[in-house]
Amino acid sequence: MNSNNATTTPQRSIERVKAGLKRRQASERRFRLYSKLAVGLSLTFMLLLFGSIVSKGYSAFWQSYIKLQVTLSPEELEIEGGEINEETLYSANHIAPLRKALRSLFPEVSARSDKKELYSLIGGGAEFALSGRLMADRSLIGKTQTMWLPTDDKVDLFVKGHIDRNLPQSERGITDKQLAWLDHLVSQGRIEQRFNTTFFSSGDSRNPEQAGIWGAVVGSFYTLLVTLSLSFPIGVAAAIYLEEYAPQNRWTDLIEVNINNLAAVPSIVFGLLGLAVFINFFGLPRSAPIVGGLVLSLMTLPTIIISSRAAIKSVPPSIREASLGIGASHMQTILFHVLPSAMPGMLTGTIIGMAQALGESAPLLMIGMVAFIVDIPSGVLDPSTVLPVQIFLWADSPERAFVERTSAAIMILLGFLIAMNTSAVLLRKRFERRW
């Protein structure tokens, strides 16, 4: 009996171990399945988001144009005195020749209300395009030119297929007469879609066909330039002090806790701080890149300090000891050995912090960068806006044509963010050292 019991006991133990092993293996398989489902669900939502943005925004990269034969006589331009100079060209009536060219295509249109509907086929940027051409080449005056001019935003939406012609007239925004005129122009090959250079070369506008992102891009550049110029040297210097020079006491512990806490503070709090200090106290101009850069520097500093400290900690002590052993001072050791070894990690953290600053809008709204800015800024003191705020402004606009421009601006902003994060990853892999 004893020998039988001794034989069955190990068998039972082995069976229990096998049963437990099967349960653990089944749990591991379920865990892997749940992980794959979570990743797949995340990718699905991301693709849906990107797909929605791209489907709404890609058409903003094209603009509908109308072909007109425009007679640029001084009489049509209403140039007084016959003298043609920059002042008279600037004050000339540039819309009159365009309207006459459009009437020549539809001579049957005579009623005042019908003419108003006919003229509205041309976008608000048409007269500025004509003015620019005359300013660049005055020899065009007195000649008849074939010109492709931007259409109105509603006409552009219709040509792109965003407006259903089967809808009632009150719902589609284009009258039946305008539909007939457009069909006639399309049959004659006078309506054409071309790459929308205005979107990439101009500032904001109340008219969707004239609105562009170049002003916001330049404003973002100046704002990030100020942010980088302030946050990177200050952040690296603070990290060096805390890691290499600061004594271990309650004061430095309090500083480290506050740095970690500042990294989690909502960004709008930094906007309130910038409004109170930089604008109300120091009197700096509102809606200027200098103020936006100062606010974003405060927000970015904790990220740069934390990443820089981690990069300095990753440098092996043997490098410091070897440098000190051959007679180098503490400062020489930091400048010529520790910093070059930690710089890839510092730059990676800085790029990630700058990408975070590029996508911020809440703190900039608090300092007035939500203003309507048409001109392209030429310096850090000029009024400007940034890409996230420009997206916010267009998303709040009632015109339907701003929907595609909002999505297009989001695509460009995401492109910048992806490029910055990709460069951070490549930089880390290129210069990272494994000790």
Summarised one tens digit per residue, pLDDT across range 359-411 is: 888 888 888 888 788 889 999 999 999 999 999 999 888 888 899 999 999 99
pLDDT confidence tier of residue 228, bands split at 50, 70 and 90? very high
Summarised one tens digit per residue, pLDDT across range 121-134 is: 998 778 888 888 88
Q: What is the mean pLDDT of residues 70-76?
A: 84
- What pLDDT was estimated at residue 226? 94
Instruction: Say if residue 224's pLDDT is above 90.
Output: yes
CATH node for 214-431: 1.10.3720.10
Q: Which residues in 160-188 are b (16+ Cβ under 10 Å) and which e?
A: beebeeeeeeeebbbeeebeebbeebeee
- What pLDDT was estimated at residue 234? 94
Q: What is the mean pLDDT of residues 341-355?
A: 88
Q: Which of 125-129, 167-171, 208-212 has the highest mean pLDDT?
A: 208-212
CATH code 1.10.3720.10 region(s) in the chain? 214-431
**Which positions ≥6 away from 57 have C-beta within 8 Å?**
404, 405, 406, 407, 408, 409, 410, 411
Q: What is the mean pLDDT of residues 230-237?
A: 93
Summarised one tens digit per residue, pLDDT across range 269-299 is: 998 999 899 998 888 888 899 999 999 999 9
Distance of CA 129 to the CA centre of its chain: 27
**Which positions ≥6 away from 386 have C-beta within 8 Å?**
216, 219, 220, 223, 292, 358, 361, 364, 369
Going across the sheet that includes 144-150, the strands are 144-150, 62-71, 191-195
- What pLDDT was estimated at residue 233? 94
- What pLDDT was estimated at residue 199? 92
- What pLDDT was estimated at residue 400? 84
pLDDT confidence tier of residue 44, bands split at 50, 70 and 90? very high
- What pLDDT was estimated at residue 37? 94
pLDDT confidence tier of residue 412, bands split at 50, 70 and 90? very high
Q: What is the mean pLDDT of residues 30-34?
A: 91
**By CB neighbour count within 10 A (0-12 exposed, 13-18 middle, 19+ buried), where does 251 fall?**
exposed
Residue at 211: amino acid letter: A
Of 103, 71, 72, 106, the C-alpha closest to 89 is 72
pTM metric for this prediction:
0.85
pLDDT confidence tier of residue 2, bands split at 50, 70 and 90? low
Helix axis angle, 387-395 to 401-431, nearest 10°: 160
Which residue is it, tokens 């309207």? Answer: 99
Q: What is the mean pLDDT of residues 27-35?
A: 89
- What pLDDT was estimated at residue 5? 55
Instruction: Say if residue 7's pLDDT is above 60.
Output: no
Summarised one tens digit per residue, pLDDT across range 318-336 is: 888 898 888 888 888 988 8
Average pLDDT, the chain: 87
Taking the C-alpha atoms of residue 120 and residue 247, their distance in angstroms, rounded to an integer, is 73
3-state secondary structure of 150: strand
Taking the C-alpha atoms of residue 181 and residue 203, their distance in angstroms, rounded to an integer, is 31
Measured over all CA atoms, what is the biggest interatomic distance in the chain, rounded to whole angstroms? 130
Q: What is the mean pLDDT of residues 12-16?
A: 71
- C-alpha distances (whole Å) from 44 to each of 36, 40, 310, 413 are 12, 6, 34, 21
Q: What is the mean pLDDT of residues 185-213?
A: 90
Strand 62-71 with 191-195, pairing = antiparallel
Instruction: Say if residue 302's pLDDT is above 70.
Output: yes
pLDDT confidence tier of residue 435, bands split at 50, 70 and 90? low
Q: What is the mean pLDDT of residues 137-149?
A: 85
pLDDT confidence tier of residue 433, bands split at 50, 70 and 90? low
**By CB neighbour count within 10 A (0-12 exposed, 13-18 middle, 19+ buried), where does 310 fall?**
middle
E strand or H helix at 158, and its extent? helix 153-159
Query: What percentage of the chain exceeds 90 in pLDDT?
Result: 34
Taking the C-alpha atoms of residue 363 and residue 204, their distance in angstroms, rounded to an integer, is 21
Query: What percentage of the chain exceeds 70 in pLDDT?
Result: 94
